[in-house]
Amino acid sequence: MQTDAPDAVSIHGDAPGIAAAALQAGLRIADDGAVIVVTTIMAVEDAADEARQRRQALVAIVGADDADAAIEAGATHVVSANADPAEVARTLRLAVRHVRRLRDLPSPARRRGESEVVPAWVTAARPVALALIALTRFDVVNAAYGRARGDRLLESVLARLRSVVGPGAQVERLDGAEVLIAWPDPAGASDDAIEQALAEPFDIDRTAILLGSRVAVLPVVQGDVADTLRHLRLRIEEPSASPLTGSVLVEQLAIDVHRAIENGEIGVLFQPQVVIATGAISGVEALARWAHPTRGEIGAELLFAAAERADVALPLSEHVQAAAIAAAAAWPESLARLRLSINVTAADLARSDFAPRLLAQVDASGFARGRLTVEITESGLIAELNSAARLLSHLRGAGCHVAIDDFGTGYSSLAYLKALPLDYLKIDRSLTVDIAGSDRDRVVVRGVIAMARSLGLETIAEGVEDARQRDLLAAEGCTLYQGYLCAPPLTGAALVDLVEGR
């Protein structure tokens, strides 16, 4: 048995003293943690007989007080089996304690209907503003840390929100992981204050827990609270957030990444890009690396997954881009001809000022625009291709180059080729890794290279680890490669040694 109140318990076996010899029992605590539902199959003569047997069995296991409390909390049937009575009793007591604790959390919507969450002055058609908050990571936090900490986290969320919305506002928890705030004065409503309050980690039992949130604020027009709530819900349910990964490791790292950017733990390494025909290193791709204090080195894929969960993917992207450009600007003369490739996400391209901001950063560093390539990760969906095309055209017009990264793995490969101004196409490692052993893979790669050539694009093959892969790619017309055949991602000093030693 776990120490926190369980989500589900299934006990099978004989149950002497109850008419049915075979029981199939389960216990579930509902999403808001306030209702205990126990189901069982049992032979009884009537409803009164069932109720009597239920209470008698509970009294025998946990005593009269806890039995009555469990029934009052919502227990409809008995959890009973040929198991250790002490374990069964402890399970029920945990469930009862869980419900009693959650009764202290304000959730009138759960018991009286959503409209009663709003203060009485709203029903009198007085001006008011409402905010609906969806805690986007609460379910995964529950899974990672347990319901007991989840309950205390909810209490802390409500307390923190009350500290920023002012004494005239009312903060209520709705079912699940939603919170409703009502203001008596619409002028006092601020989604910025709410988002800032929830952006900092919560200290629960000496564990830092970071929540994500989606916030919507609207005025109530003519006292129509129900209509306002509907519009609020539509706003927070827009598909703007990334899907949950379900990874406890990612959740734990999401807590740390918030501070890692500020503490300088996240830096960049450089992996060479090689001209196949000559063997010369012509450029490098900057790859993020996190020197985690306890987990060691963490690569870009896991790092950005954690950043997405912590809602800091955009600041992380900006940090990595700035670090790469600053490092390249300080390269010695021996690296003066190398191109630098930096990764650009769909979130970057969603910002209308991205191109001028990046160019200003490059110019301030002293790095030549003509040596910079921006690589668009093809695993992320670009929502507005026309807008992205304008931004990338701005960069190309300023002298930069554009590449599509991880080609063949994402959402809209061909659409990107058609819509975006490109110079390079990077063939994903999943297509090149078995090119020497699979005729099918070789045909696919041949087609990609031919298509790129027809569009006037150079091709860069990723994940090249041996000479045979390189030679087959050369035979198909690929111009550059990147991979461990040349070198793994390197520090700046190691890159200098490699280039000067060739």
**Predicted local distance difference test score (pLDDT) of residue 81:** 42
- The residue-averaged pLDDT of 171-188 equals 77
Q: What is the dihedral of CA 33, 103, 178, 261, to 10 degrees?
A: -80
CATH 3.30.1330.10 holds for 108-236: no
Quote the DSSP letter at residue 377: E
Beta carbons of 406 and 377 less than 8 angstroms apart = yes
At 168, the amino acid letter reads G
C-alpha pair distances (Å), 275 with each of 317, 349, 388 = 28, 29, 29
**Predicted local distance difference test score (pLDDT) of residue 74:** 53
CA distance 365 to 479: 30
pLDDT category at 252 given cuts 50, 70, 90 is low
**Predicted local distance difference test score (pLDDT) of residue 486:** 97
C-alpha pair distances (Å), 436 with each of 31, 431, 488 = 52, 11, 21
User: CB count, 10 Å around CB of 76?
Assistant: 14
Return mean pLDDT, the chain: 75
- The residue-averaged pLDDT of 315-344 equals 96
- The residue-averaged pLDDT of 124-143 equals 71
Q: Which of 148, 153, 23 is nearest to 94 (CA)?
A: 148
- The residue-averaged pLDDT of 12-26 equals 35
**Predicted local distance difference test score (pLDDT) of residue 11:** 40
User: What is the H or E stretch that residue 318 is in?
Assistant: helix 313-329
**Predicted local distance difference test score (pLDDT) of residue 112:** 39
More confident residue, 124 or 163: 163
> Is residue 412 over pLDDT 60?
no
More confident residue, 136 or 391: 391
User: What residue spans define the domains of the chain?
Assistant: 8-103, 108-236, 273-285+312-496
**Predicted local distance difference test score (pLDDT) of residue 249:** 59
- Residue range 415-443, pLDDT digits in tens: 788 889 999 999 988 889 889 888 888 99
pLDDT category at 69 given cuts 50, 70, 90 is low
More confident residue, 191 or 378: 191
Query: What six digits make up the tokens of 110?
Result: 């759960």
Say what the pTM is: 0.55
> Is residue 111 over pLDDT 70?
no
**Predicted local distance difference test score (pLDDT) of residue 174:** 77
What phi, psi does 37 have (nearest 5°)? -120, 120
Q: Which of 216, 1, 233, 250 is nearest to 137 (CA)?
A: 250
CA distance 343 to 289: 13
CA distance 41 to 157: 40
Overall fold of domain 273-285+312-496: TIM Barrel (3.20.20)
Q: Which range (96-100, 234-238, 460-464) has the least confidence?
A: 96-100
